[in-house]
Amino acid sequence: MSELIILGSGGGRIVVFQGIRSSGGFIIKNKNFLIHVDPGPGALHGLLKNKIYPNKITHIWVTHKDLDHTGELNIIIEGMTEGGLQKKGTLYTPEEVLRENILLKYLIDYLKDIVITKPENLYHIDELRFKTSLMHNHRGVECFGFIIENFSFGYLVDTKPDENILKFYSNLDYLLVNCVLLEPREDVYHISLQDIPFVYEITKPKNLILNHFGMRLLKYGFRNVSDFLKKYSIPFTLAYDNMKITF
């Protein structure tokens, strides 16, 4: 049995940096591994709140360089390796994270391995099969999500909704979608609530889990969000900090 724990369900600068919700990413764990995906602001607090100590982490996966996805990357690596006393752990990351020195250089030697991830590739972590998506439409950033084939689980990370990208995530049991906006904005490269019916029409998951909420969406209120989604008969879950899913 494996478990996913959402350490932070917030997205957007105001929500994260006013402490309204964390953006600590999420954990995938079982008896053999503990993977931390996108350790943004609040990651360490989220781990400790769930009684998970950083030195138990075996792998870190970063989808892209943005601060709300990497803000505590260095802290988590320090904790995972016990300040470098234990050379351990593998970091999976787009090359851009290294090229722009988001990972502090001295921490590179603390890690057992670094795997540079690329779009449309297959990676193995223990028995898990991670298949990466096409490059997402996110300001030209090296950004792509993934499917864990073993769990029929997908992570639709930051992007403008594009049919070719969305098709990659079709017909899964669980699809975790970063839904930051209430309404689409031409200058913001994120999915909005109003885009979700289109997202669902293309992907058709058994359970669509909305996550990474921005301020206007939170102010709109989850009752209104739920009423909107029910009109389209979408099977949905609204994420919250420390929410757990068992596979």
pLDDT digits (tens, 9 = 90+) for 140-176: 999 999 999 999 999 999 999 999 999 999 999 999 9
How does DSSP assign 217-246, residue by residue? Answer: HHHH-HHHHHHHHHTTT--EEE--TTEEEE
Query: Is the pTM for the entire model greater than 0.85?
Result: yes
Q: Does 87 have pLDDT greater than 90?
A: yes
Give tens-digit pLDDT for 192-232. Answer: 999 999 999 999 999 999 999 999 999 999 999 999 999 99
Quickly state the pLDDT bin for 16 (edges 50, 70, 90). confident
CB 78 within 8 A of CB 44: no
Distances (CA, A) of 225 to 166, 215, 219: 21, 13, 10
Q: How many CA atoms lie within 13 A of 206 on its CB side?
A: 6
Structure tokens, 98: 């290294």
Q: What is the mean pLDDT of residues 24-34?
A: 95
What is the CB neighbour count within 10 angstroms for residue 119?
A: 16
